[in-house]
Structure formats: structure tokens, C-alpha cells
Amino acid sequence: MKTNKLFFAAVCCLLSANLSAEEELIRFGDFESWITRTIEESAIIGGKKQTIYEIGPKGTFDGARAYTNQGGSPWGSSNAYAKVSGIVKTNSSVFPDKHAGGQCAKLCTQILKCKALGIVNITVLAPGSIFLGSLQEPVTSASNPMAKMNTGIPFTKKPKAVKFDYKYFTTGGERIRESGFGKRQTLGGKDMGKCILLLQKRWEDADGKIHALRVGTMLQYFTQNTPDWKEAQSFSIHYGDITREGFYKEGMGLMKGEKAYHARNSKGKNVPIQEDGWAGPNESPTHMILIFDSSYGEAFTGTIGNTLWVDNVKLVY
């Protein structure tokens, strides 16, 4: 009997090891540690000290200086130090929050204003976003924010799914576009939170342009209020050309032209990643893009107050 118990215990240990080996927590994807940045904004807009947060090893990165990912963290965010027309301003739309006795990431869609008489007068809608990659600082204008993102990280595996805990809140209010240029626009449709994961096989041509084939795709929208957390939700990654599949939906297509994400080339310049086609079923990726947004769609678009909470981001094999 004792032998049987020992054997059963050994089998349970092996099964536990195998199960844990099938899941890989993305580094700092448990959001238990954050970097705190204290930045003093320009006197002409109030001169207040603002606190913004970055995902990485617990510590500080103070002052009006360009942030670079710390401690091997692969995460960037929409939080930013901006310097527009010489005026120092911050954007804070991602925060640490509480979850299950620890911390999570809270992404908020909100209005950001920068007004200084005779110099600058900008009001923009700023959704909260976290992504694998980095943000180019200081941000010097409100135009084309995607061009300021170095999107994606080197990655060569082929996971079955991405898994995470989430909670979503939507006010149900109107969906707007406020870009800082012209009047606020009211848009049709309903705002949603979003998670997208793309696996790409990238290469760079002689002119420094980045090309890619799409290897894997996952797109999930969040449309309903979830007062309680949805724990350990798994979303399948689909490989190859999925345009004829029943689950294919708008937003899963190849990213080209104005829709293209950007990445830093070998010359140190952020350029569009032009997806030239779909990879074959046996192709392996070179990079992974993973983005969470409190509002979907184009930049400066969403519903004020919509909020997405995310925790424990893992890859499933």
C-alpha cells in the first residue's frame, strides 16, 4: 500500500510538472512589480509633479527623460513623457491595481489636455494600452502615435493559445474621436476592449523597410461588463491563412499601409511593418506582437471611461 501511495504521489508530481511546462508566463506578465516615474510638468501648464507607471522591476525612473525598458521587461505602455513645443507633459492611462491579493494592470480610456495660451492647445482621447515592445520618448506631437511604438519582440515558438485573467467595464457612452486636430467627432458603433496577438516572420530589405509574413493570429474583443474577474481565460492562436475560416473577423487581416504597426529597423528608425502575405503552416515566427487596449479602433478613438483590467498573461503550448 505504501508503495502504491509513493507511486501515485510520483505520478502526480510528474503531471504537475508537465502541466506547468505547458504554460509560460510572459516576463512581468503577472504585473506584481512596477517602475514609478515622477515627472515635473512645465510651469506654464501648472508645474505639477505627476506620477506615471511602467511595467518592470520595482524601482524608480524619475525626471523628464526618455524611458527605456528596464530590467529585461518586454512591456511598453501608453504612459508617456511628452515634450510638445518645449512644454513637458505626461500621459497616464495605465495603472497598477489590486487583484487576488496581488496586482494587475488597469487600462483606462480618458481625455488628455495640454493647454498653454499662445503656444499649444491640444485635447486628445487617450486609450490605455500595454504591449510587447517599447515607446519612443519624448513624444513630440499628437500625430500618428503608432509610429512612436516599437511593436513586438523577438520570438520563435508556436504556442497554441494566450491565456490571461481579465475584467472589463464599459460606460455604454458614445464612441468619439478626438485627435487634437479639429472638432470632436461622434462615431457610430459600440466601443470595445481588445487583445491582439500576431506572430510574424520578419525581414529587412536594403532600404531599411521591414516586411513580414503572418504566421499566427489571435484577436479578442471585450464587449460586455464583467463585474467579476474572468480567470485564466484561454484564446486560441490560429496559424496560416485564416481568411476562409468561420472564425475570421474584421481586424484579423494583414496589416498594411496606415494600419501597419511599426518597429525599429537596423538603422534605429521606426518604420511600418508591411505584412506581405500569409506564412505557410510549417513556417516559424521571428517576432511576436501582443497588445491590450481599453478601446479598439484607430488612435484617439473610444468611449471615455471604458476600462480593461489584465493579469497573469501566459502562453499555452
- In the prediction, which pLDDT does 10 show? 42
Angular region, 230: left φ>0, alpha ψ -120 to 50, beta rest: beta
Give the sheet arrangement for strand 34-40, strand by strand. Answer: 49-55, 34-40, 59-60
Provide Rg for the chain, Cα atoms: 21
Question: What average pLDDT does the structure give for the chain?
Answer: 92
pLDDT in tens, 248-261: 999 999 999 888 99
pLDDT at residue number 117:
63
Residues 6 or more apart whose CB falls under 8 angstroms from that of 85 comprise 116, 119, 120
The angle at the Cα of 170, spanning 165 to 174, to the nearest 5 degrees, equals 150
Find, among 218, 229, 219, 223, the residue nearest to 295 by Cα: 223
Show the domains of the chain with their CATH numbers: 2-316 (2.60.120)
Taking CA atoms, 94 is separated from 11, 35, 247, 301, in Å, by 43, 12, 31, 16
Confidence of residue 144 (pLDDT cuts 50, 70, 90): confident
As to burial, measured by CB atoms within 10 angstroms (0-12 exposed, 13-18 middle, 19+ buried), residue 198 is buried
DSSP class of residue 151 equals E
CA–CA separation, 210 and 265 (whole Å): 7
Q: Is the peptide bond before 145 cis (omega within 30 degrees of 0)?
A: no
Question: What is the pLDDT confidence band of residue 8, given thresholds at 50, 70 and 90?
Answer: very low
pLDDT at 135: 97
How is residue 120 written as a grid cell?
Answer: 499649444
Global confidence as pTM: 0.91
